[in-house]
Amino acid sequence: MKAKSLVLGTCAALLAISPASAGPLDGIFSGWHDTDSAETLELSGTAFSNALYQGYSDLAGARDDAFDLTDGEYFNHKARTAARRSAVQPDAVMDRDLTDEQKPMFQTALDRMRFAFERGGATQAPQAAAKAQVSYDCWIEATEANRTIRRADNSNEQSCKNEFDTAISAVEAAATFELTPVNYTLEAMSPAPAPVAAPSPQGASFIVYFEFDSTNPTPVGKDSLSGVISAVKANDGLSVRLTAHADSTGSSAYNLALSRRRLDAITAAFVNAGISASRIREEAAVGEGALLVQTGDGVREAGNRAVEIELN
């Protein structure tokens, strides 16, 4: 009886000294699970990163209130990362224990979200973009959890999915970083006796986006590069003008050199496709000196990791 009283007294004392914002078990398990340390952090990031912080912090609190301390700690860590203006990625499908039937559904949702972000959704609609990412993580975590004893119904899974669907639709509606469509095929002009070439895409422009701190284009960037290469090969009279950018993460000198390497990567892609480097009439590496998306210093912005390509 004395031992039992001692245990109960210790638990009561730990709960008594817990902060008012603590979850129901934080007084006992605060040394094991950090579920709420992000709540006191000051924010100085972009609208998107700040919204991610708030979303993940709220999700951590919800998991804490549901006695799910492991996931509460996980989402609290994501909130802390967002507060530091560091990149916070949505969960990868392979990182969650999903069935073979569930995996394609989440991969489609993830690809949809990434494509919308690369088209500027996180900049144009930061609140909706953050809501989409956080609710995606909520959805995939809840789906995995439904396969365990921890959660017996799928109400949380469906709620998170509904929030994702609503948010990602708003992001897609706001994304405006569209690639310029170019018609570089040959068309038959009826009733003309012979096929006539489509109008030259002179004056058209493309944007090739790059991975962070890299000379590798993103999937969307690869599609854009493929399109411009096809246009140039189909129109011998076209010349090319390149302008390479970098985001504001790192020093100005480093970003200038990085944009130079991105120019070299585009040039190499042209040459490898059989296009003479002499057709690149003008090129400029501007680093972070001419941001396509205006941000403060030290901000990872996908819209600024780009090479603009103009056809003349």
Which pLDDT score, from 0 to 100, does residue 4 have?
Answer: 40
Which pLDDT score, from 0 to 100, does residue 21 have?
Answer: 40
Q: What is the pLDDT of residues 216-235, one digit of tens each?
A: 998 888 888 888 888 888 88
Q: Which among 238, 309, 235, 243 has a CA at the least distance from the CA of 279?
A: 238
Within this chain, do residues 194 and 124 fall inside the same structural domain, yes or no?
A: no
Residue 32 domain flag: yes
Residue 27 domain flag: yes
> Are the C-beta atoms of 46 and 301 separated by less than 8 Å?
yes
CA distance 91 to 282: 41
CA distance 46 to 307: 23
DSSP 8-class letter at 33 = -
Domain with 153, as residue range(s), is: 19-174
Q: Which among 306, 309, 269, 244 has a CA at the least distance from the CA of 119?
A: 306
Residue 144 domain flag: yes
CA distance 263 to 242: 7
Q: For position 214, which CATH number holds?
A: 3.30.1330.60
**Which phi and psi angles does 106 have, rounded to 5°?**
-75, -35
- Point out the domain boundary residue: 142, 174, 206: 174
Within this chain, do residues 162 and 264 fall inside the same structural domain, yes or no?
A: no
Residue 125 domain flag: yes
**Which phi and psi angles does 94 have, rounded to 5°?**
-70, -15
Within this chain, do residues 38 and 133 fall inside the same structural domain, yes or no?
A: yes
Residues 6+ apart with CB under 8 A from 266: 208, 225, 242, 244, 307, 309
Q: Which among 122, 135, 123 has a CA at the least distance from the CA of 58?
A: 135
Within this chain, do residues 129 and 25 fall inside the same structural domain, yes or no?
A: yes
CA distance 159 to 167: 12
pTM of the model: 0.49
Within this chain, do residues 96 and 191 fall inside the same structural domain, yes or no?
A: no
Count of structural domains within the chain:
2
Within this chain, do residues 130 and 194 fall inside the same structural domain, yes or no?
A: no
Query: Given CA atoms 76, 125, 127, 123 in this order, what sign does their dihedral have?
Result: positive
Within this chain, do residues 166 and 190 fall inside the same structural domain, yes or no?
A: no
Q: Which residues of the chain have pLDDT under 50?
A: 1-31, 148-153, 179-200
- Point out the domain boundary residue: 139, 174, 209: 174
- Point out the domain boundary residue: 174, 209, 226: 174
CA distance 66 to 50: 25
Within this chain, do residues 49 and 152 fall inside the same structural domain, yes or no?
A: yes
Q: What angle do CA 226, 230, 233 make, to 5 degrees?
A: 140
- β-pairing verdict for 280-287 and 240-245: parallel
Within this chain, do residues 163 and 191 fall inside the same structural domain, yes or no?
A: no
Within this chain, do residues 41 and 170 fall inside the same structural domain, yes or no?
A: yes
Within this chain, do residues 33 and 126 fall inside the same structural domain, yes or no?
A: yes
Which pLDDT score, from 0 to 100, does residue 19 have?
Answer: 40
Within this chain, do residues 215 and 265 fall inside the same structural domain, yes or no?
A: yes
Q: Which two tokens stand for residue 142?
A: 């809840």
CA distance 296 to 293: 10
